[in-house]
A = this chain, B = another copy of it.
Amino acid sequence: MSVVLNEEKLSTFQNYESAVRSYCRSWPTVFGRAKGYKLYDEDGREFIDFFAGAGALNYGHNHPKMQEEMVNYIKNDGIIHSLDMGTEKKRNFLERFQQIILKPRNLSYKIMFPGPTGTNAVESALKIARKVTGRKTVIHFTNAFHGMTIGSLSVTGNSMKRQGAGVPLHYTVTMPYDNYFPGANTAEYLEQFLEDRGSGVDLPAAVILETVQGEGGLQAARDEWLRKIADICKRWDMLLIIDDVQAGCGRTGTFFSFEQAKIEPDIVCLSKSISGSGLPMALTLIKPEHDRWQPGEHNGTFRGNNLAFITAAVALEYWKTEQFSMEIREKAALVTKRIADILDKYPQLQGEARGRGLMQGIAIPEEGLAQKISKQAFRCGLILETSGPKDEVLKFLPPLIIDNEGLHEGLDIVEQCMKFVLSK
């Protein structure tokens, strides 16, 4: 299938919307419907979704049971907006999250609704870590992405986004992520800075990290590196914050991305797919001993999105058994295999496999090449994003509910676009 682009249909956005808009530039069409792992623009063109709302649509578009429950609730005048008042649907979500997610994993966290987006969760995590420890500095890692508000931006690596702040960013120290320096153990690097009383790194309140860096180029930390970081946090009495906004909610094959490494963070940030439906929602999970907030010390108008609580509770159904995890891992293996084949077949790409779970991709060193492939993919009916500091990584992020047929179809388009771009 080939899409005929019509720039005119975007004139409303060009005329009225701020220059900051971006995705509508990459995928220049106007979308109308979406179902499962497919999107449709207003002219009826179909796209396979290898983007999943940047990780916000792990359960696909318009899940039928979510639709049904939302419709019933709306029709029955269910309360929509409730701040942090008690509501039936919030209570239901809290109980299910406890029973289905926390309890079976032997995890004990207090649940905070910090506002409906990932950056709200990160900001609240930084606040509580600083409050609990009485310290200020937070360690983050190269190519980390944690959000656009000043607190979150100060632990984000991307220089363009940082400059967008318009002010220097404080109270944070950047450290090399796993595998940053070839041959070096960067966790030891961090530890030496902490051990040395003359290093210039003041004792931090916390370390914040993504186990797989979604925006940073699909860098996946090794389990032993994560454990070493967790050990360092314990030794130095720093809180470990896992930002699981993109890698959580099953994206890597387990509900939390850190389960495989057998670490237990002090604070976990969840958002994106936590509502299941793409509706704005976020959680901050806080170990009970660190839940030292005063009532209302952090607040926000949209903490209580009841439609999101409804669909979030439906999404949790997937986690009642091991079945869903197993399926994700099988699909991940398929993607790994296809990537290996592609790298074999196109050595001229000098590509590098990246990521894990259904959060894999290919890094392509030649500047601009990944972006060309992504652009061509759109023309061929595939929504496919790039990431990394130079947009050098093709990022395969389909809804987790995609079937093998969909995966193959999408990866076939990727391969065909590579071939096309390399041939030019």
Assess whether A278 is in contact with B148, with CB atoms less than 8 Å apart: no
Does A320 belong to the interface (CB within 8 Å)? no
Taking CB atoms, residues of chain B closer than 8 Å to A216 are 198
Assess whether B131 is in contact with A193, with CB atoms less than 8 Å apart: no
Oligomer copy total? 4
Question: Taking the nearest CB of chain B, how far is it from the CB of A352, in angstroms?
Answer: 16
Q: Mark A103-117, 1 if CB is under 8 A from B, else 0.
A: 000000011110111
Which residues 158-177 of A sit at the B interface, judged by CB distance below 8 A? Answer: 158-174, 176
Taking CB atoms, residues of chain B closer than 8 Å to A271 are 301
Question: Taking the nearest CB of chain B, how far is it from the CB of A154, in angstroms?
Answer: 7
> Which of A76, A95, A142, A272: most chain B Cβ within 10 A?
A142
Taking CB atoms, residues of chain B closer than 8 Å to A32 are 78-79, 87-88
Taking CB atoms, residues of chain B closer than 8 Å to A61 are 77, 79-81
Assess whether A301 is in contact with B272, with CB atoms less than 8 Å apart: yes
Question: Taking the nearest CB of chain B, how far is it from the CB of A299, in angstroms?
Answer: 6
Does A424 belong to the interface (CB within 8 Å)? no
Total count of chain A residues near the partner, CB < 8 A: 152
Smallest CB gap from A137: residue in B: B168
Taking CB atoms, residues of chain B closer than 8 Å to A158 are 197-198
Q: Mark A36-79, 1 if CB is under 8 A from B, else 0.
A: 00010010000000000111110001100001001100111111
Assess whether B91 is in contact with A30, with CB atoms less than 8 Å apart: yes
Assess whether A168 is in contact with B136, with CB atoms less than 8 Å apart: yes
Assess whether A277 is in contact with B22, with CB atoms less than 8 Å apart: no
What are 20 pairs between A and B in contact, CB < 8 Å?
A12-B91, A17-B94, A20-B297, A21-B295, A28-B86, A30-B88, A30-B91, A53-B81, A53-B301, A62-B77, A71-B75, A74-B74, A80-B277, A80-B279, A130-B165, A143-B198, A143-B200, A151-B165, A167-B171, A280-B280
- Extra A-B contacts (11), CB below 8 Å, given A142-B200, A148-B299, A164-B297: A17-B111, A24-B86, A30-B86, A54-B83, A56-B81, A81-B277, A131-B166, A140-B200, A143-B198, A168-B170, A199-B389
